[in-house]
C-alpha cells in the first residue's frame, strides 16, 4: 500500500468514526452489558494508546522539531504526569458530580489537546499540549473503574473487570503496531489524527452513556476532606511500600518504552514497522506474566519472585548494554525483565488495595498516579548521553529499589501477622 492510499484509508476511517458519532448520539441512552463492556474497555485502554501509539515516530520527531531525543521524550514525561495528576482530579470530581459530565468534559478536553499537539510549532508547545492530553485521558481511565463499581458487585464485578482487563491487555500491543503501520505514510501527525478519531468515538460513547451514579449516592465532600483521606491512606506504611514497589517497576517499564524506539531503530537499524512488531511481542510477556501471577497460592509469592527476577534480568541487561551486545541478547533479557514486571504488577496492586479496603477509591487513585509519575520522571533520563548506558543504569536502579520495597513490605506484613493481638 503506497503513502497516498494509506492517507486515504486513514481519512476514510476518521470520516467513518464521525458518522458513528452521529449514530451513537441519536441512539437512546441505555447501558446494556455489551455497551458497558466495550465502552469501559476502550476507556481503560486509553492510557496505552496515548503513550504508546506514536512511539515508532519518536526518532523522526527529533528531526521535525530540530531537537534532541531527550527533549522529544519530554512529550512522554508530560503525558504521564498528566495521566497521574488527572486521576487525582477526575476521581473526586466524578464522586461529587457523577460520572457522565466529568467524562464528557475529559473527552472534549482531550480533543482540543490533540489538535493543539498536531499544530505545535516547537517541541515545548508539543510538550505542553501533551500534559493537557494526559490529564484528559486520565479522566477516562479513573472513571471507567468507578462506573464498573457503580453497576456491578461481587462475582459480576470480578467478571466485568476481568473482561475489561483482557481488552486492556491488548492495548499495549495494538497501539505501537498501529502506529508503526502509519508511521511511514502519515507520520506522527497522522497518528495524532487517529488519536483524535478515537477521542471522537469515546466522546460519542460518553454522550450516549447513561449516568451510573445517582445523585443520592454522590459524595457531598469538600476538597479538604479529600486531602485528609489521602493523608490517612499514606499513613499506612505497608501500603506505601507496595505502591512504591509498583512505582519503581513502572519506572523500569517506561524506561523501556521511551528508550526502545531509539535503541531498536537507531542502534540496531530497525524500521518503524519492525520496531512496532517487536514492541508488541515484548508487551505480550507482561500480559502473560500478569495472568500467570494469579496461579500463585498467595500474591506475596508472586511479588517476591517477580522482584528477584527483575533484579537479575536488569543486572544482565545493564552488563549487556554496557558491552554493546547483539540484538538477540538484548531482546531475550528484555522479555525476561518485562515478564517479571508483569508478575509483580497484579500482586502489588492486589496487596496495596487489600491494605486500604475501606479507602479503595483513594488508594487506587494514588497507586495509578504514582506509577505514571514515576514513568514520567525516568522517560527523559534515558536520552541523556549514549542511550544504552543510561537505560541499563535505570533498569538496574529501579529494579533494586523495587526489590528493597518488596522486602520491606513483606517484612512488615510478617511482623503484623506475628504480632500478638
Over residues 322-361, the pLDDT tens digits come to 988 888 999 999 999 998 998 887 778 778 767 766 565 6
pLDDT at 213: 72
CA distance 154 to 149: 10
| Predicted pLDDT of residue 399 | 93
Rounded Cα distance, 55 and 49, in Å? 10
The sign of the CA dihedral 405, 411, 414, 416 is: negative
141 phi, psi to nearest 5 deg = -65, -50
Rounded mean pLDDT, 184-193: 82
User: Which candidate, 171, 145, 170, places its Cα nearest to that of 157?
Assistant: 145
Do the Cβ atoms of 218 and 97 come closer than 8 Å? yes
Position 142 scores a pLDDT of 77
Who has greater pLDDT, 32 or 17? 32
Measured CA to CA, the distance from residue 353 to residue 242 in angstroms comes to 9
Q: How far apart are CA 249 and CA 403, in angstroms?
A: 9
> Measured at the alpha carbon of residue 211, what is the angle toward residues 206 and 213, in degrees to the nearest 5?
130
Measured CA to CA in angstroms, residue 205 lies from 42, 144, 213, 253 at distances of 10, 12, 17, 31
Contacts of 61 (CB under 8 A, 6+ apart): 72, 75, 188
Section 378-387 average pLDDT:
78
Q: Is the dihedral of CA 391, 245, 167, 333 positive or negative?
A: positive
Cell 454522550 sits on residue: 207
| DSSP result, 177-215 | HHHHHHHHHHHHHHHHHHHHHHHHHHHHHHHHPPPSS-G
Q: Which residue did the predictor score with more confidence, 318 or 44?
A: 318
pLDDT band at 163, cuts 50/70/90?
Answer: low
Q: What is the pLDDT of residues 106-132, one digit of tens each?
A: 899 999 999 999 998 899 999 999 999
Copy the grid coordinates of residue 4: 497516498
Q: Are 368 and 89 in contact (CB under 8 A)?
A: no
Confidence of residue 235 (pLDDT cuts 50, 70, 90): confident
Confidence of residue 372 (pLDDT cuts 50, 70, 90): confident
Confidence of residue 180 (pLDDT cuts 50, 70, 90): confident
Residue 45: strand, helix, or coil: coil
User: Measured in Å, how far apart are the chain's first and last C-alpha atoms?
Assistant: 70
Burial bucket for residue 224 (CB in 10 Å: 0-12, 13-18, 19+): exposed
Q: How is 68-97 classified by DSSP, letter by letter? A: -HHHHHHHHHHHHHHHHHHHHHHHHHHHHH
Mean pLDDT of the chain: 78
CA 201: distance to chain centroid? 20
Residue percentage of the chain with pLDDT more than 90: 16
The confidence score (pLDDT) of residue 336 equals: 93
- pTM value is 0.71
pLDDT, position 4 = 45
Domains along the chain with CATH numbers:
1-213 (1.20.1250.20), 232-421 (1.20.1250.20)
More confident residue, 356 or 389: 389
User: In the predicted model, what is the mean pLDDT of residues 188-198?
Assistant: 86
pLDDT value at 214 more than 90: no
| pLDDT at residue 420 greater than cutoff 60 | no
pLDDT tens digits, 215-233: 766 666 666 666 777 777 7
- Average pLDDT estimate for 260-284: 83
Average pLDDT over residues 143-167: 65
- What the block records as the C-alpha cell of 123 is 517541541
Phi, psi of 294 (to 5 degrees): -70, -15
78 vs 173: CA distance, rounded Å = 22
**What is the C-alpha to C-alpha distance for residues 76 and 250, in angstroms, rounded to an integer?**
13
Please state, as a whole number, how many other Cβ atoms lie within 10 Å of the Cβ of residue 179.
27
Query: CB within 8 A of 80, min separation 6: which ones?
Result: 51, 134, 254, 372, 373, 375, 376, 379
Amino acid at each position: 500500500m503506497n503513502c497516498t492510499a494509506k492517507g486515504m484509508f486513514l481519512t476514510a476511517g476518521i470520516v467513518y468514526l464521525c458518522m458513528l458519532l452521529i449514530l451513537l448520539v441519536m441512539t437512546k441512552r441505555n447501558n446494556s452489558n455489551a455497551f458497558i463492556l466495550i465502552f469501559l474497555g476502550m476507556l481503560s485502554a486509553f492510557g496505552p494508546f496515548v503513550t504508546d501509539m506514536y512511539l515508532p515516530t519518536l526518532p523522526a520527531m527529533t528531526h521535525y522539531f530540530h531537537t534532541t531525543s531527550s527533549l522529544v521524550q519530554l512529550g512522554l514525561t508530560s503525558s504521564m504526569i498528566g495521566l497521574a495528576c488527572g486521576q487525582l482530579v477526575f476521581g473526586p470530581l466524578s464522586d461529587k458530580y457523577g460520572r457522565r459530565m466529568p467524562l464528557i468534559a475529559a473527552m472534549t478536553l482531550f480533543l482540543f489537546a490533540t489538535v493543539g499537539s498536531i499544530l505545535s510549532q516547537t517541541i515545548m508547545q508539543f510538550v505542553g499540549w501533551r500534559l493537557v492530553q494526559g490529564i484528559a485521558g486520565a479522566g477516562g481511565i479513573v472513571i471507567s473503574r468507578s462506573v464498573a463499581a457503580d453497576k456491578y458487585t461481587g462475582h459480576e464485578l470480578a467478571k466485568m473487570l476481568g473482561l475489561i482487563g483482557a481488552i486492556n491487555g491488548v492495548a499495549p500491543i495494538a497501539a505501537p503496531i498501529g502506529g508503526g503501520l502509519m508511521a511511514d505514510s502519515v507520520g506522527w501527525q497522522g497518528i495524532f489524527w487517529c488519536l483524535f478519531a478515537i477521542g471522537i468515538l469515546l466522546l460519542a460513547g460518553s454522550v450516549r452513556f447513561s449516568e451510573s451514579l445517582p445523585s443520592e449516592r454522590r459524595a457531598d465532600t469538600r476538597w479538604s476532606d479529600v486531602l485528609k483521606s489521602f493523608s490517612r491512606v499514606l499513613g499506612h506504611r505497608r501500603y506505601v511500600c507496595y505502591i512504591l514497589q509498583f512505582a519503581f517497576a513502572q519506572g523500569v517499564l517506561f524506561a523501556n518504552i521511551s528508550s526502545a524506539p531509539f535503541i531498536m531503530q537507531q542502534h540496531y537499524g530497525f524500521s518503524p514497522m519492525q520496531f512496532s512488531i517487536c514492541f508488541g511481542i515484548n508487551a505480550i510477556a507482561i500480559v502473560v506474566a500478569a495472568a500467570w501471577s494469579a496461579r500463585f497460592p498467595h500474591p506475596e509469592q508472586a511479588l517476591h519472585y517477580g522482584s528477584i527476577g527483575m533484579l537479575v534480568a536488569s543486572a544482565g541487561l545493564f552488563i549487556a548494554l554496557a558491552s554493546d551486545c547483539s540484538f538477540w541478547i538484548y531482546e531475550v533479557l528484555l522479555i525476561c525483565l518485562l515478564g517479571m514486571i508483569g508478575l509483580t504488577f497484579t500482586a502489588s496492586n492486589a496487596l496495596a488495595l487489600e491494605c486500604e479496603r475501606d479507602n479503595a477509591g483513594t488508594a487506587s487513585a494514588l497507586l495509578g498516579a504514582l506509577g505514571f509519575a514515576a514513568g514520567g520522571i525516568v522517560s527523559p533520563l534515558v536520552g541523556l548521553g549514549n542511550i544504552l548506558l543510561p537505560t541499563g543504569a535505570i533498569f538496574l536502579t529501579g529494579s533494586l529499589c523495587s526489590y528493597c520495597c518488596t522486602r520491606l513490605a513483606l517484612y512488615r506484613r510478617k511482623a503484623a501477622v506475628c504480632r500478638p493481638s
